[in-house]
Amino acid sequence: MGVAKLLFGLRTCQPHLMEDAVSRFDDGLRKAIEDIVVGGDPFFGDLQWRLASLPMRLGGLGLFLARDVGAYAFVASRAQSWELQDHILRNGGVVGLDPDYQQALECLNVSLPDLDIGGFSNKDTAPSKPQKTLANALFSKIAQSLGEAFDLSPRQKAVFECLKGPHAQEFLTVIPIEGLGQCMSAVEYRTILKYRLMIPMYPEDETCPICRKACMDKYGEHAVHCKELPGFKYRHDWVRDVLGDILRRAGISAKKEAPVNFLTDPTEGRSTLRPADLLVFGWAGGKHACVDLTGVSPLVGLRENGFVAGLAATKAESKKVDKHAKACAENQHVFIPFAFDTFGSLAPEAINFLTRVQRVIHSNCSTPKGQGFVFGRLGFAIQKGLAAQLVARLPSVLM
């Protein structure tokens, strides 16, 4: 169920006639989502609801409110079909703006006071993609004012920035397929959504049930960093295995945990035989590539100000390059750092790598272009690995 079912009505009826239907639909949708995410527990508040209803590229779950879409759908639809209307009504004596449209335009002005909607009052100046223009304007405004509207804490602000990271929300688009590892239990999926919607999950100050050393905190910061199984090593291995499977299915020959005798830390000064997470054969100009996975948590050492989303992954990437790229090059190998963070956002080299894998898949089989299922699958793997960590440390009453 989604707003798509209502779209025709929203596009063709004046906004003020839809008010009742819109609020009833939104109330029902909120109840349904709340039930999925917290299942009767508290903490699904207005902030969580607002976040869930933002588009994915702005960090939301893409569950649009009818109220938001209703603010622009009528005007956009009219502006888009102007020529057609003129043609159909050419003998009807209707010229220029009708009061319906005028009224809807005034309503829109209330929702988007900063947007210059002057262009919409004339068919020669109306933007060519009114739907997109208005949706972008409205949702960008909502996202921008989120911090103020909800008086977000530094942590909340940081999480919101992370959710907007490159490819961070792509896992939401995957179709559940067991054989591809694209399945999660209800508890796992719910836990991931809670983590992203900043819903407290753990009792504060209780000892971690797995390592029995550290203290839990309500948002799961320790759970993400705990070293005991299933800890971040588990997540790392899981993501590596899925990446290996993506390569295999793309027809790219690769070996996981392949021993290469030059991947050593020069500061250690000794030859520790360190395997490459994935050794991809004949990747660039006939050279083999060592792919090195690094998962980081962007919220480590979060300070009041100066948080930059994506910085943790980019820093991890350049650290790995400093460490291994030279040794790889000297031994006729290419080094590819593959850094990602707990929210699923990817560092530039990882994006480049996956984009190229995607291209190989497109050229091998005739899948429709533009579908980024490689990113979705990898993103899902990151979240599934994280879910295992978070769920293992949940108090049993929540499971």
Question: Which chain residues interact with Zn ion by CB under 5 A?
Answer: 208, 210-211, 214, 226
**H helical segments located in 81-153:** 82-88, 99-111, 130-144, 146-149
d(CA 311, CA 347): 9
Please, which residue, 104 or 208, has the CB nearer to Zn ion?
208
Please, which residue, 152 or 214, has the CB nearer to Zn ion?
214
Cα 212 to its chain centre, rounded Å, is 32
Q: Are strands 287-296 and 254-260 parallel, antiparallel or unpaired?
A: unpaired
Least distance from C-beta 386 to Zn ion, angstroms? 15
Question: Distances from the Cα of 205 to the Cαs of 215, 317, 387, in angstroms?
Answer: 5, 33, 21
d(CA 129, CA 81): 11
Which residue(s) pair with 284 in the sheet? 287
Please, which residue, 72 or 202, has the CB nearer to Zn ion?
202
Least distance from C-beta 208 to Zn ion, angstroms? 3
Please, which residue, 18 or 208, has the CB nearer to Zn ion?
208
Least distance from C-beta 222 to Zn ion, angstroms? 6
Least distance from C-beta 207 to Zn ion, angstroms? 8
Query: In three state form, how does the secondary structure of 336-354 look?
Result: EEEEEECCCCECHHHHHHH
Please, which residue, 152 or 211, has the CB nearer to Zn ion?
211
Least distance from C-beta 394 to Zn ion, angstroms? 13
Please, which residue, 137 or 226, has the CB nearer to Zn ion?
226
Least distance from C-beta 228 to Zn ion, angstroms? 6
Residue written as token pair 């990602």: 340
Residues 6+ apart with CB under 8 A from 254: 244, 247, 248, 278, 279, 280, 281, 291
Least distance from C-beta 231 to Zn ion, angstroms? 8
Residue type, 27: D
Buried (b) or exposed (e) across 196-230, using 16+ Cβ within 10 A?
Answer: bbbbebbeeeeebbbeeebebbebbbbbbebebeb
Please, which residue, 267 or 396, has the CB nearer to Zn ion?
396
